Amino acid sequence: MSSLSMRHLLGLRDAKPNDLRVILDTTRSFRSILDRPVKKVPSMRGLTVVNLFFEDSTRTRISFELAEKRLSADLVNFASSGSSLKKGETILDTLRNIEAMKIDLVVVRHSGTGVPAFLAKHSNAIIVNAGDGANEHPTQALLDMYTLEQELGSLRGKTVCIVGDVRHSRVARSNIWGLSALGAKVRVCGPSTLLPKNPAEFQNVVFTTDVRHAVNNADAVIALRLQKERQDDNLLPSLREYRNFFGITEEVLESSKAGVKIMHPGPINRGVELDSTVADGSNSVILEQVSNGVAVRMAILYLLSGGLAHE
Ligand code: NCD
């Protein structure tokens, strides 16, 4: 049996600290496998995973695919372009048909909030949320939390500052809940038009529109991508103005604590939310995040499929 208290990974909003601990501790063992010459274990041999990506993705899709391959699972990739969705089939019908082909786990990314939860409710498959609209992206937050622990040790009492387009960011939402559950202090910074519409959803979080105040003494800064595809009109005067006030530039880095860790979930708009010299500089752990992403996804798939191999 899985040692997680949940059957699906839909989000971190109500995550139990113990579940987060189990995932992060299991990630550590998978991370060490990825440094071996042969990066494959038989933990999911005989199990089948379907990757349902209804929205664009490079690193999350490849990361899940590599995680599944490294666990020896069989996998099938679905992309909505070229599928029967174009002929009017509903998502639930698509999933039920795929399920009828005997699959065990489904990884789903969709532009609609709540699609993974809906599929979990109405099908028998185990569901992993790979990003739903502007709601949650739990595996990204878990890989961020893993990277932060690797760099800083225990997160209890550490200050993590999330800067940018928080309103449209599922990464920010999952991180705020996950980091808070592990005892980190979270500061959130962005233009007031891009801060959450309902800040009461987030307890014990400091909100600010002043980036220097936000990064002051922070142990880590997570810069968010400006989500041009999710912008309603007129939330920003211009990208140039955004960079001037909220970009993580060399100058902002200089006013931060020495050794501050710079993170970004990717893809980066270089010169907008993050300057290239900072993204590629010695404080950046952005590529570490990507490497850790595979291990975190291995841990999640392995733990959620825990009972299946022996049923
Ligand atoms: C994020 C996403 O798609 O939510 N990227 C990712 O998963 N690596 C962040 C983003 O698109 O801004």
Going from the C-alpha of 267 to that of each of 3, 134, 189, 280, the distances in angstroms are 33, 16, 19, 14
Q: Which of 181, 257, 193 is nearest to 221 (CA)?
A: 257
Provide the b/e sequence for 144-180 (b: ≥16 CB within 10 Å). bbbbbbbebeebeebbbbbbbbbbbbbbbbbbbbbbb
Least confident of 65-74, 104-113, 224-233, 271-280: 224-233
CATH topology of domain 17-136+290-304: Rossmann fold (3.40.50)
Identify the three-state secondary structure at position 43: coil
Question: What does CATH list as the number for 138-289?
Answer: 3.40.50.1370
Q: Is the CB of 171 under 6 A from ligand 1?
A: yes
Type and span of the H or E element at 70? helix 59-70
Least confident of 86-90, 166-170, 207-211, 290-294: 86-90
Q: Is the pLDDT of residue 309 over 70?
A: no
Q: Is the CB of 140 under 6 A from ligand 1?
A: yes
User: Which segments of the chain belong to CATH 3.40.50.1370?
Assistant: 17-136+290-304, 138-289
> What pLDDT shows up at residue 149?
98
Q: Are 123 and 99 in contact (CB under 8 A)?
A: yes
pTM of the model: 0.95
> What pLDDT shows up at residue 310?
46
Rounded distance, CA 124 to CA 26, Å?
25
What residue type is 128 in one-letter code?
V
What average pLDDT does this structure show over 166-179? 97
pLDDT tier at 311, thresholds 50, 70, 90? very low
Provide the b/e sequence for 33-44 (b: ≥16 CB within 10 Å). beeeeeeebebb
Going from the C-alpha of 174 to that of each of 116, 141, 185, 196, 307, the distances in angstroms are 15, 6, 14, 13, 26
pLDDT tier at 1, thresholds 50, 70, 90? very low
Q: Which of 170, 172, 137, 175 is nearest to 155 (CA)?
A: 175
Exposure of 79 in the CB half-sphere (CA atoms within 13 A): 7
Q: Is the CB of 164 under 6 A from ligand 1?
A: no
Ligand 1 atom nearest residue 55's Cα = 3
Q: Are 151 and 261 in contact (CB under 8 A)?
A: yes
Residue of higher predicted confidence among 102 and 171: 171
Ligand 1 atom nearest residue 171's Cα = 4
Average pLDDT, the chain: 93
> What pLDDT shows up at residue 307?
59
> What pLDDT shows up at residue 232?
67
Ligand 1 atom nearest residue 293's Cα = 8
For the chain, the straight-line distance linking the first and the last C-alpha, in angstroms and rounded, comes to: 9
Q: What is the pLDDT of residues 250-280, one digit of tens each?
A: 999 999 999 999 999 999 999 999 999 999 9
Q: What is the pLDDT of residues 96-138, one digit of tens each?
A: 888 888 899 999 999 999 999 999 998 889 999 999 999 999 9
| Neighbour count for residue 127 (Cβ, 10 Å) | 24
What average pLDDT does this structure show over 37-65? 94
Q: Whose CA is nearest to atom 12 of ligand 1?
A: 225
> pLDDT above 90 covers what percent of the chain?
81
